[in-house]
Amino acid sequence: MAGAAGHAEAQSLTRDLFRPERGAFVAPQDLPLQRTPRLAAAPDPYATDNDPRRDRTTPPRLGSPNFGLQPSLGSAGTGYDALGRKRQKPKIFPGAPQPKAVGPGSKPVIAAPPPARPLPPSQNAAKPPVPAAFTGTLPGQPTRRRLKPDLDPFGSVGDYAGSFLFKGAIELNGGYDTNPARITTPRASGFYKISPELMVTSDWERHALVADLRGSFTGYGHDFINPAGAVSSAPRNLDRPDFNGHVDGRIDVTRDTRLLGQGRLIVGTDNPGSPNVEVGLQKYPIYTQTGVSGGIDQNFNRLQVTAIGSADRRAFQKSVFTDGSTDTNNDRNYNQYAGTGRVSYEILPGLKPFVEGQADTRTHDTVTDRYGYRRDSNGGYVKGGTSFELTRLLTGEASIGWASRTYSDPRLLKLDGLLTSASLIWTMTPLTTVKFIADTSIDESPLSGVSGVLTRTYTAEVDHDFRRWLTAIGKFTYATYDYQGSGRSDRFTSLEGNLVYKLNRSLWVKGTLRRDQLDSNIVGGSYNATVVMLGVRLQN
């Protein structure tokens, strides 16, 4: 009996090896693989009819079903597997169809589940079918990941050059100003404004290098003639440039140690209407400020310590008057050397209080100015505050402190006052953003007997998107200027509205309406002006 059984089994293996039968060792090429549902848990698109020997543990290729032969397709009904793996019995859950044998010598398989009963028309209408391509229910397809929303669908894309991302833009504006000289007796004029900008950002795994360069040039169509009887005067040529650029670098020495550096360049003029502007000028004298900074940033777990040293140089051009004469501004040129330290501690992931202090010294090119005052001074500030990030709805930094400056000349009074600094962004709704900026500075003044100017500026801005391509911006600015030693005190307010229409990522159209007003306690120092401007922005 044993010999007969062995002979019959040998004949069966020989038949399975050479006969093109379904379930045999070798499937003929002219016999297509017919797909039937696999175990009751989920359909198997790769199994042949009545074939339980498919390797269902090998996943298909990502993105498309695998219709090739699986590694253990050659195993016969005897249980042999060429890869030496043990065959696992299917787990039967309560209520599931019971396995039944199919064919002689084959392992039991679970029959396909009966078709589901159709739902009533009301339920079918309440739950419309979801496309299979999106939910990943197509056999062999993984679940499709949702794409991240583009928070700035009309923002600049930029171009890569090696490992650097370049973003460039230029704004071309034209408008009308009712008082471009910012004097008591106004005289209107049209103007144009060209504003280029360039942003370069490194894309490195370690270290960083960022360059932010922004400038503008404002030109007027004709020379300005001071009205008869005007208390204050303005230059004949009101054209003025403006540039503010800096390059920031960071070297990651270790995970907790970073070296910081910055190079900066500022080009500008005195503000129109400022008492620093001399009478009878042909044009505004241009000043240039250059500076470098370097320091270290060290983390001790949650404690962060930063120390930075800086050096700056400010120099003015000669003043050119309408009669052709010139006057040097060497007494306004100075060098400033400063050291800044900051210690912060992260109490929570979104709350980081800090204490910051700075000490500096200013040295002028001349020992005395044009009025005989020694302008060299020492100053600094100390402030405390915190940076925070509250559920991404309110982020920024706010601090309060005290700033002061003392001068070499005892006739120049000490200049000090409360220091307020803040930079807050509040995401009120997904369509509305509120920004608040506060800043305090002690500026130099060439006026006789005036130590300096304590300037405080507060700005509130609201951005609202009516559509992704239509944004309205409202901006309010309030500033105070206290001239120590002269008793002069100015109050400046500005209300501005902008409407931005974004045609695409490369072309925007912008309209601006602004009202400026200065109230001074000095006779002839007040002014008001209205500006209307329309322009386009080209960006890449």
Greater confidence, 468 or 476?
476
Per-residue pLDDT, 257: 97
**C-alpha 144 chain-centroid distance:** 28
| Residue 133, pLDDT above cutoff 60 | no
Distance, CA of 494 to CA of 491 (rounded, Å): 10
Per-residue pLDDT, 221: 80
Q: What is the pLDDT of residues 280-314, one digit of tens each?
A: 899 999 999 999 999 999 999 999 999 999 999 99
Q: What is the pLDDT of residues 353-402, one digit of tens each?
A: 999 999 999 999 999 999 999 999 999 999 999 999 887 789 999 999 99
Under the banding of pLDDT at 50, 70 and 90, the label for residue 225 is confident
Per-residue pLDDT, 224: 78
Nearby residues of 303 by Cβ (< 8 Å), 6 or more positions away: 343, 344, 345
| Residue 155, pLDDT above cutoff 50 | yes
Q: What is the pLDDT of residues 50-98, one digit of tens each?
A: 444 444 444 444 444 444 445 545 545 455 555 555 555 656 666 666 6
Mean pLDDT value across the chain: 82
Alpha carbon separation from 174 to 5, 192, 219, 240, 364 (Å, rounded): 102, 4, 10, 15, 39
Q: What is the pLDDT of residues 10-27, one digit of tens each?
A: 454 444 444 444 444 444
Count helices and strands in the chain by DSSP H and E runs: 3, 23
Distance, CA of 237 to CA of 186 (rounded, Å): 15
β partners of residue 383? 356, 401
**First and final C-alpha spacing in the chain:** 87
CB 183 within 8 A of CB 234: yes
CA torsion 403-407-411-413 (nearest 10°) is: 0
